[in-house]
Amino acid sequence: MLNVSIAPDGTEYKLPTEEENEIEFTRVKEITAQQRALGRKIVGVQGLGFVGCVMAAVVADATDEKGNPYYYVHGHQRASKRSYWKVPVINTGKAPVSSSDPEVPEIFHRCIMDRKNLRATAEDRVYELVDIVVVDIQLDATKPAFGEAEKGFCDLLAFREGIRTLGKYIRPDCMILVETTVPPGTCEKVVKPIIEEEFIKRGIDIVQHPPLIAHSYERVMPGSKYVASIRDFWRVYSGVNQKSKDLCREFLSKVLDVKNYPLTELENTNASELAKVMENSYRAANIALTLEWARFAEKIGVDFFKVREAVRKRKGTHDNLLRPSLGVGGYCLTKDPVLANWAMKTLFEIDDALDIAINAVNINDTMPLHTIDLIKEMIPVLRNVKVAVLGVSYLENLGDTRHSPSKTLVEFLHKDFAMVKVHDPYVEYWAELEEVKVYNDNGDVLPEADVVIFAVGHDEYRQITPEFIVEKAGKKPLIVDCSNFLDDAVIREYLHLGCNVRGVGKGHISQL
């Protein structure tokens, strides 16, 4: 459909016309003037995605000791078919994301309906009016070949366009705070030159008015602490010059809980950009390491997860040890090492590589194939084998399918001509694998299943007893535990019922 943006609930929103844009801009100017009269600074948040929409609410929610908001927030979302719907949805007082965090609907309702200092708009010229812009444009890495992250790259086109929009409209004293996870070097080598170029076009003297650009990355986690993970957590920041750093610190100090989570200033934006992708690379490498030890454990009668718990008792030195599972999903660990490796080669033209980090991404991306290997140890030929996959989200107890390893699992099961049915209580529709229907009732996937894969450890699955599985399947399916979900007592029940059981890292099953 032309010029229509469809919300997840199916509601259609017409994209604004030029005439409507003019009306909107007049309205935005009026509101801004009113809010300035209340002594509030004006903040724009660019990009109302997973981080941006909640960050906009967190900024709007910040008040002085008397409860007066520091800021009025214009949440800005381009009028694209994919995302425009967020603007009208937010402006009715609703969050444009569903979450298990009860604070999400509360904070949106409070800021939009009660305090009235948060509003969404698709009008670019809003940036003429703001004192601060928080950039939350999404930025992804492209991995053109499966398991070859070394060929990955970062397509900065949309990001650069977004920054150019800012350069066209912002006042020279407006502070740009880049919150997006970017390849190291982006603020210095991408954002600053674009802003300078646009300033020069506008006749702004960039010696007298050097662009004010800061970087501070979020550490958001989906789930029940979604808002707190943005507001009440440690932050690292820097800026391209001293004034940018100062303005950034002042802004973050008002918006975040810096009393309990003090800020860390780094010397330049390269450093803060590097810190973000490095901390995720550390996690990615940590997980990748565990897979090879889990495979070893499987072959020598050892439960890798009990070993892991023993090792993690060394607090302070070994308690960050992660674990293998079906694989690694989500938005950060799968791409951040690629952003860094690409930046090294492309933005800085350094003849080196982040081999461990990139190798970790490859191991993690291909980790679901290990689960298929476990199945093939019992059922060598998967053609026409009926497989029930329980869980397509990338995390437990969430409906988030971004870069979910279940996608790789299902695709490779299809390649082997298995007959796959997938279930997830939290997912209505699998955006990344549209052709696969996701059932919400396990009664739709279990009947006749030869293999049942506990792909994701949703708590809801704990209520499924071995008796229920065997009864529903009408046979004794092979049970595969990808995420250390079945404890030894439950595995014993499956064994007593005559099922075979396999699990990632679970080498001890034959001894049970």
Residue 349, phi then psi, degrees to nearest 5: 55, 40
Pairing between β-strand 451-454 and β-strand 478-481 as defined by DSSP bridges: parallel
User: Is residue 260 a contact residue for a copy of itself (CB under 8 A)?
Assistant: no
- Answer whether 375's CB lies under 8 Å from 382's CB: yes
Q: What residues contact 148, with CB distance under 8 A and at least 6 apart?
A: 362
CA 386 to chain centre: 32
Tokens 């399947």: give the residue.
473
**Which span sits near a copy of itself by CB under 8 A: 142-150, 175-183, 248-256, 263-271?**
263-271
Q: Rounded to the nearest whole angstrom, what is the least distance from the CB of residue 512 to a copy of itself in the complex?
A: 10
Which one of 23, 200, 353, 381 is in contact with a copy of itself (CB under 8 A)?
353
For residue 345, give the nearest of 106, 154, 104 by alpha carbon: 154
User: Is residue 510 a contact residue for a copy of itself (CB under 8 A)?
Assistant: no
Residue 53, phi then psi, degrees to nearest 5: -65, -40
* Footprint (CB under 8 A) of a copy of itself, residues 167-226: 184-185, 219
Phi/psi region, residue 10 (left: phi>0; alpha: psi -120 to 50; beta: rest), is: left
Which one of 271, 379, 419, 497 is in contact with a copy of itself (CB under 8 A)?
271
- 306 residue type, one letter: K
- Answer whether 297's CB lies under 8 Å from 258's CB: no
Q: Rounded to the nearest whole angstrom, what is the least distance from the CB of residue 222 to a copy of itself in the complex?
A: 15
Q: Rounded to the nearest whole angstrom, what is the least distance from the CB of residue 285 to a copy of itself in the complex?
A: 5
Coil vs helix vs strand at 4: strand
Which one of 161, 292, 377, 428 is in contact with a copy of itself (CB under 8 A)?
292
User: Is residue 359 a contact residue for a copy of itself (CB under 8 A)?
Assistant: yes
**Which span sits near a copy of itself by CB under 8 A: 14-22, 138-146, 349-357, 411-419?**
349-357
* Footprint (CB under 8 A) of a copy of itself, residues 294-333: 295-297, 299-303, 306-307, 309-311, 313-314, 316-321
User: Is residue 270 a contact residue for a copy of itself (CB under 8 A)?
Assistant: yes
Q: Rounded to the nearest whole angstrom, what is the least distance from the CB of residue 248 to a copy of itself in the complex?
A: 14
- In a 13 Å sphere around the CA of 56, the CA atoms on its Cβ side amount to 36
User: Is residue 495 a contact residue for a copy of itself (CB under 8 A)?
Assistant: no
Q: How many residues of this chain bind a copy of itself (CB under 8 A)?
A: 61
Q: What residues contact 481, with CB distance under 8 A and at least 6 apart?
A: 454, 491, 501, 502, 503, 504, 506
User: Is residue 373 a contact residue for a copy of itself (CB under 8 A)?
Assistant: no
Distance between CA 272 and CA 217 in Å, rounded? 8
- Binding footprint of a copy of itself on the chain (CB under 8 A): 184-185, 219, 234, 236, 264, 266-268, 270-272, 274-275, 278-279, 281-283, 285-286, 288-289, 292-293, 295-297, 299-303, 306-307, 309-311, 313-314, 316-321, 340, 344, 348, 350, 352-357, 359-360, 363, 508, 511
